[in-house]
Amino acid sequence: MTRVLSGAVLLLLAIGLVWFAPARVFFVAAEVLLIAAFVEYAALARASDLPVPRLPAGAAAALTGAAFARVTRGDVSWAPLDVVLLSAFVVLGALTIAQWREGRNALGLASASMFPSLYLGLPIGAMIAIREAHGREALFLLMLTVFVSDTAQYYSGRAFGRRALAARISPKKTIEGAAGGFLFGGVFMMIVGAWWLPVVPPAMRAVLGVLVVALGITGDLFESMLKRSAGVKDSSALIPGHGGVLDRIDALLFAAPVYYIVLHYV
């Protein structure tokens, strides 16, 4: 019951923010989500003996997401993405020098400090840009496709699952469950996209649906790998019955960048 109630609250919150919130409110909510996900990431990194400098690494990730936004009046935007990433590279690299205490983990420390900008900042920034440039429908279509795919994977896996998809990383995920996710997620993107993403031809929507599902599964497995490496079950206990923020957005973190690229350039 707790899981169902928490899921209902999360769904209503997502609908309210994506569909009804003004651009500024949505931007602030996305940045809050990013920071919450970073706090969980930093805890996973510390559990993996890779403590990251929280303030500068978190600020770099938040600014990376903000660099995608145009929520101020006129055509004024936040700092260009290249400026943010280059500055983050220099600052976080220099901090690694002060943080290192001998041993063989220097490369790991430097990488773990920079990674939140790529893992969290770029995807969440992409979602901000998708909503601003292509409308709430385009972003909601992405989110619902991932949700439909996840749900189909769960029930297909329970009903038909026999063969493990990635036993070392996530023993409960099955090939049969993934097949259900591809079927329902791909069909959902193709059909509902006729209303919410009409500029994309049907064949391309079908391909895009398959890509979104595949990347969503990859993102889920990637976060499971991080948790298994850190020796924890969930990224946090923030959401009753659902784990943490990272546990809820892991699929979107891999799917959103490619979705953004397709809408902007393909």
pLDDT of residue 106: 86
pLDDT of residue 81: 83
pLDDT of residue 79: 64
pLDDT of residue 222: 97
pLDDT of residue 75: 46
pLDDT of residue 77: 52
pLDDT of residue 2: 65
Alpha-carbon dihedral of residues 150, 151, 157, 163, nearest 10 degrees? -10
- Identify the residue whose tokens are 């260009």: 80
What three-state secondary structure class fits 50?
coil
- Note down pLDDT in tens along the chain; length 266 residues: 666 677 778 888 988 999 999 999 999 999 999 999 999 999 999 999 998 999 999 999 999 999 988 754 444 455 678 888 889 899 998 888 887 877 777 888 999 999 999 999 999 999 999 999 999 999 999 999 999 999 999 999 999 989 999 989 998 899 999 999 999 999 999 999 999 999 899 999 999 999 999 999 999 999 999 999 999 988 987 877 778 999 999 999 999 999 999 998 87
pLDDT of residue 57: 95
| Of 237, 134, 152, 246, nearest in space to 193 by CA | 134
Helix (H) or strand (E) holding 195: helix 175-196
Count how many residues are written for the chain: 266
pLDDT of residue 4: 66
pLDDT of residue 72: 44
Q: Which token pair is 163? A: 């063969």
Cβ-Cβ contacts under 8 Å for 135 (sequence gap 6 or more): none
Cβ-Cβ contacts under 8 Å for 240 (sequence gap 6 or more): 2, 3, 5, 6
If one counts every other C-beta atom within 10 angstroms of the C-beta of residue 77, the result is 14
Distance CA 144, CA 192 (A): 10
C-beta of residue 33 within 8 angstroms of C-beta of residue 18: no
Question: Would the pTM of this model clear 0.85, i.e. be above it?
Answer: yes
Distance CA 28, CA 3 (A): 26
pLDDT of residue 76: 42
The domain locations on the chain are 24-134, 135-266
